[in-house]
Amino acid sequence: MAFISLTNLRSEFGALLSQTYLQSLTIRLEEMRVKRHDSEQWMHHRLLPQDLRERVRRYDQYKWQETRGVDEENIVQSLPKDLRRDIKRHLYLVLVKRVTNQLIYLVFLLHLRTFYPLVSERRLEFLYLRTWMKGYLMLCERLKPCLYIENTYIVREGDPVDEMLFIIRGRLESVTTDGGRSGFFNRSLLKEGDFCGEELLTWALDPKSGSNLPSSTRTVKALTEVEAFALTADELKFVASQFRRLHSRQVQHTFRFYSQQWRRYTKRKLMELQQKEGRRSRRIGCK
């Protein structure tokens, strides 16, 4: 008898949860319809051209497809600081690791090789791992999720850079004319694990930089739907302030003029580190 009652209770509880979820989804669907109606009314009132209206509709559709009307950032921000920090670290742990490794390692090597040119490779690796963890956790707490639809211009060459973007999913085109230099054109593709807006890093590393943001050296455009994390100028300034030695003019100069070469170098070094770690793990497992 008790077993039957417990089974019935579980069934009723499951049905209640399903009903609550459906009610919540219905409410969010209705809210979405109201927002779309308001958006259509506003676009009509402002006489927006059809191409702009279609872009707004596509973005709204993509955002709903990805979030189902749940404002994750607001939910997290409403929680106490320590809980908010731990949740962000958990949510972004794997994703951020893929996109921040080469950035932190790039900055770190610039720093160490400038101030400690004779440090051994093994010592560098140890110091890197310690520095990486510090910077990694700080980044986790400050990244904001963002979505972009196809053909969105993230930033245009010459415009102020107000955030760094770490790509989680999708493809983007990055183009530069080197400030409009005649006959100069360079194009590259950005994908999962890449980032853009690194001009902001040299600005953040300069303790004397004012409120004037650096200009973008490239035009970045989404070729597909893109999911990314954004780090604003103010947040990056705070993270950079935790690494005082990186404020060296020599470090900033090196990063500014050799960022592409350092990207390639850090990717190679990271692969070597991962291979070493894999071999070390296998040796431990064999003991």
Name 278's Cβ contacts closer than 8 Å, sequence gap at least 6: none
The total domain count for the chain is 2
The predicted-structure confidence for 78-93, as pLDDT tens digits, reads as follows 888 888 878 877 766 6
DSSP 150-215: TT-EEE-TTSB--EEEEEEES-EEEEE-TTT-TT--EEEEE-TT-EE-THHHHHHH-TT--S-PPB
What pLDDT, on the 0 to 100 scale, is given for residue 143?
A: 81
Same domain, 113 and 58: no
Q: Is residue 203 part of a domain?
A: yes
Reported as a pLDDT band with limits 50, 70 and 90, residue 161 is very high
Q: Could you tell me which residue, 171 or 69, shows the higher pLDDT?
A: 171
Same domain, 282 and 213: yes
At 222, is the secondary structure helix, strand, or coil?
Answer: strand
The predicted-structure confidence for 15-31, as pLDDT tens digits, reads as follows 555 566 566 667 777 77
Q: What's the mean per-residue pLDDT of the chain?
A: 72
Q: Could you tell me which residue, 265 or 49, shows the higher pLDDT?
A: 49
Among residues 22, 41, 68, the one where a domain terminates is 68
What pTM, to 2 d.p., does this model score?
0.60
Residues spanned by the domain of 31: 2-68
Using alpha carbons, select from 258, 95, 98 the residue that is nearest to residue 194: 98
Q: Could you tell me which residue, 262 or 134, shows the higher pLDDT?
A: 134
Q: Is residue 215 part of a domain?
A: yes
Q: Is residue 100 part of a domain?
A: yes
The predicted-structure confidence for 124-150, as pLDDT tens digits, reads as follows 555 555 555 566 667 777 888 889 999
Among residues 46, 68, 90, the one where a domain terminates is 68
Reported as a pLDDT band with limits 50, 70 and 90, residue 159 is very high
Q: Is residue 259 part of a domain?
A: yes
At position 148, the amino acid (one-letter code) is Y
Same domain, 165 and 242: yes
Same domain, 42 and 114: no
Same domain, 212 and 181: yes
Q: Is residue 74 part of a domain?
A: no
The answer to whether residue 223 scores a pLDDT higher than 70 is: yes
